[in-house]
């Protein structure tokens, strides 16, 4: 059977894969893995190969994006190929493009979902999932963009929360910190003066979602800027209009100041 199975690895280590995903791997002819779209802090290729009984073939950004995943497509033309992906498999548009190309070639595709940062941060913070607007990535300084500020502004007008994913370069073991992301947004605020991101703005910093020791801290930016979140990866949420249960969750689950309850409607 010609087939590509996209399997999510979850958020932290080799134990994040589902039992269904593990079963699919055991019947695969070829198993590929990409580790550039997200950081899995404690993932061990060696341990995963022992657990699955399969050898993993790493695929690079170039092979997936510039070469269109041809290596995987060729493998799928003669058997069952698996692509292991951090988080949930089709969050990255790269993988959607590969799936479309496979279907055009009449190669069957199948998806085994994994834990996603999108659902993880909502669960950790206690904020309601249906009240999130468009998410955005805050880039490294050399790729400066005002888009994150604009997205937060748009969501704020709609009274929606904004999830900010912080830029990473897995190959260089580099992650944008929460402090750096907030400083970048504050600089844009200095220029635009819309009072969207100020020292008195409420934010929620999250580190190592999906691990046994995540950190979730809600506070005003004047305090959040100097909070020690420890090791990456990181995310930041800018809450919009808070339901009273959300405000309580931020206080109980994320150590927010009690005055946050006054912001609830």
| Domain CATH for 231 | 3.30.950.10
Structure tokens at 232: 């990456």
pLDDT tens for the chain, 265 residues: list them.
Answer: 689 999 999 999 999 999 999 999 999 999 999 998 888 989 999 999 999 999 999 999 899 988 989 999 999 999 999 999 999 998 877 799 999 999 999 999 999 999 999 999 999 999 999 999 999 999 999 999 999 999 999 999 999 999 999 999 888 889 999 999 999 999 999 999 999 999 999 999 999 999 999 999 999 999 999 999 999 999 999 999 999 999 999 999 999 999 999 988 7
Residues 98 and 124 in one domain: no
Instruction: Calculate the CA 25 to chain-centre distance.
Output: 23
Domain of residue 70 covers 3-112
**Which letter, b or e, does each residue of 22-47 get, where b requires 16 or more Cβ atoms within 10 Å of its Cβ?**
bebbeebebbbbbbbbbbbeebeeee
Residues 10 and 87 in one domain: yes
Q: Which residue has the tokens 């580790």?
A: 35
Residues 92 and 167 in one domain: no
Q: pTM for this structure?
A: 0.91
- Among 112, 144, 170, identify where a domain stops: 112
- Among 65, 83, 112, identify where a domain stops: 112
Residues 216 and 139 in one domain: yes
Residues 74 and 163 in one domain: no
Residues 148 and 246 in one domain: yes
Q: Where are the alpha helices (DSSP H) in 128-198?
A: 147-157, 178-192
Structure tokens at 114: 């994994």
- Among 93, 112, 131, identify where a domain stops: 112
Residues 213 and 247 in one domain: yes
Residues 213 and 149 in one domain: yes
Number of domains in the chain: 2
Residues 134 and 82 in one domain: no
Q: Give the domain CATH number at 79.
A: 3.40.1010.10
Whole-angstrom distance, CA of residue 136 vs CA of residue 162: 8
CB 41 within 8 A of CB 12: yes
Residues 166 and 226 in one domain: yes
């Amino acid at each position: 059977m010609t087939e590509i199975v996209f399997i999510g690895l979850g958020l932290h280590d080799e134990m994040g894969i589902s039992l269904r995903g593990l079963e699919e791997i055991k019947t695969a002819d070829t198993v590929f893995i990409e580790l550039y779209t997200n950081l899995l802090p404690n993932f061990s290729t060696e341990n995963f190969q022992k657990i699955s009984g399969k050898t993993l073939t790493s695929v690079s950004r170039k092979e997936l994006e510039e070469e269109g995943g041809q290596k995987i497509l060729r493998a799928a033309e003669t058997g069952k190929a698996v692509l292991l992906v951090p988080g949930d498999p089709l969050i990255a548009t790269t993988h959607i493009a590969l799936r479309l190309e496979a279907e055009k070639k009449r190669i069957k595709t199948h998806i085994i979902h994994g834990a996603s940062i999108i659902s993880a941060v909502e669960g950790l913070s206690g904020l309601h999932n249906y009240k999130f607007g468009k998410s955005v990535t805050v880039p490294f300084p050399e790729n400066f963009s005002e888009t994150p500020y604009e997205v937060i502004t748009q969501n704020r007008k709609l009274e929606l929360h904004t999830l900010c994913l912080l830029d990473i370069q897995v190959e260089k073991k580099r992650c944008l910190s929460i402090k750096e992301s907030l400083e970048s947004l504050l600089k844009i605020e200095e220029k635009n003066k819309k009072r969207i991101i100020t020292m008195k703005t409420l934010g929620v910093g999250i580190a190592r979602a999906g691990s046994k020791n995540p950190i979730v801290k809600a506070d005003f930016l004047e305090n959040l800027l100097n909070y020690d979140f420890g090791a990456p990866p990181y995310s930041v949420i800018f809450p919009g209009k808070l339901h009273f249960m959300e405000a309580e969750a931020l206080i109980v689950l994320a150590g927010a100041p009690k005055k946050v309850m006054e912001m609830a409607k």
